[in-house]
Chains A and B, each alone.
Chain A
Amino acid sequence: MEPTELPAELERLELELSRRPRPGPSDGFRERVVASVDVQLRRESQQSGWGWVAALAAGVVLWMNLSMSATLATDFGLEDASPGRPIEELAAEIRTVLPEITEEEALLHAISAQAAADLVP
């Protein structure tokens, strides 16, 4: 006899078991399961959304940190524009490098360069 074959009396019992009334879940159980699946899926998608925001924020902070370090490590050649130097002297120096700009423009550049020199540690 094959393992899947049953003697006649056990076959009858099997039939009886499969025909016995088997209650189903309570009313509204399907809706409860579906609702809880929806909640779980929504929560997970929200969590993954926040995860993306957190990753972006971490990226921005890292970028700021790196650019700050790079800025501090870069020599912008602003040593000459020390606060002690007269603006007019600096403007004249700028005009020798860029003769096409007007005196007023050279003066503005000199003021900006000296202000930037104040920021360099």
Chain B
Amino acid sequence: MEETGPDPLQLALAAGDPHAFEVLYDRFGVRLYRAALGMLGRAEDAEDAVQDVFTAVVRSRASLAGVEDLTPYLYVALRRAVGRVARRQRRQPASSTEAAASAVDPSENRGTAGCRDERLDRALGALPVKQREVVVMKIDGELTFAQIGQVLNVSPNTAASRYRYALGKLKTLLQE
């Protein structure tokens, strides 16, 4: 089996190359933002969390060269940042349906499909944190179950089960 060397992006990040951080943003920024939005429910809080992730990555960049997979590494940092932002704002991370709804522009006339999307976001916001973060990481963060497992420190099967259970709960919430 061919052995792959360290990711050049990780090496450039570890060396403190500013351009590498732009590449990192282009590769992960929007996905991290959407995942943060799904967890926190408010656009400005999500941006704060992503900003915190980049600050943390700059600070601990020396260790990046040895990281096996950058994706779970960044989502672990995102979870910490989400926790910090939630504490800073003295608010539960998007536990209310109101918070989830605030992620959607209410002035936008989105028709029947738009109503359904709004209901989906509200239902997602009403899920318990542990279930919501699995859904958000899978759908908005586009992580595999193996990567989610690494982030949550559980096996890929546990992550998959938690995801399925969360979708089941979401379906029930949408039927209510």
Interface residues of B (CB under 8 A from A): 16, 18, 21-22, 25-26, 29-30, 33-34, 37, 43, 46-47, 50-51, 54-55, 58-59, 103-105, 110, 116-117, 120-121, 124, 135, 139-140, 145, 156-157, 160-161, 164, 167-168, 170-171, 174
Q: How far is the CB of A91 from chain B (nearest CB, A)?
A: 66
Q: Is A88 an interface residue (CB 8 A)?
A: no
Instruction: Select which of B26, B43, B110, B156 is within 8 A of A23 by beta carbon.
Output: B43
Interface residues of A (CB under 8 A from B): 3-4, 6, 9-10, 13-14, 16-18, 20-26, 29-30, 32-34, 36-38, 40-41, 44-45
State whether A18 touches B139 (Cβ < 8 A).
Answer: yes
Instruction: Select which of A17, A22, A41 is within 8 A of B135 by beta carbon.
Output: A17
A residues near B157, Cβ cutoff 8 Å: 3-4
A18 CA / B54 CA spacing, docked (Å): 26
Known: A3-B161, A40-B59. 12 other contacts (CB 8 A): A10-B164, A10-B167, A14-B139, A14-B167, A17-B135, A20-B121, A24-B34, A26-B43, A29-B29, A33-B51, A41-B21, A45-B16
Closest to A4 in B: B160
State whether A40 touches B22 (Cβ < 8 A).
Answer: no
A25 CA / B50 CA spacing, docked (Å): 10
Given known contacts A3-B160, A14-B139, A36-B55, is B46 in contact with A25 (CB within 8 Å)? yes
A77 CA / B21 CA spacing, docked (Å): 66
State whether A16 touches B116 (Cβ < 8 A).
Answer: yes
A44 CA / B59 CA spacing, docked (Å): 9
A residues near B18, Cβ cutoff 8 Å: 34, 37-38, 41
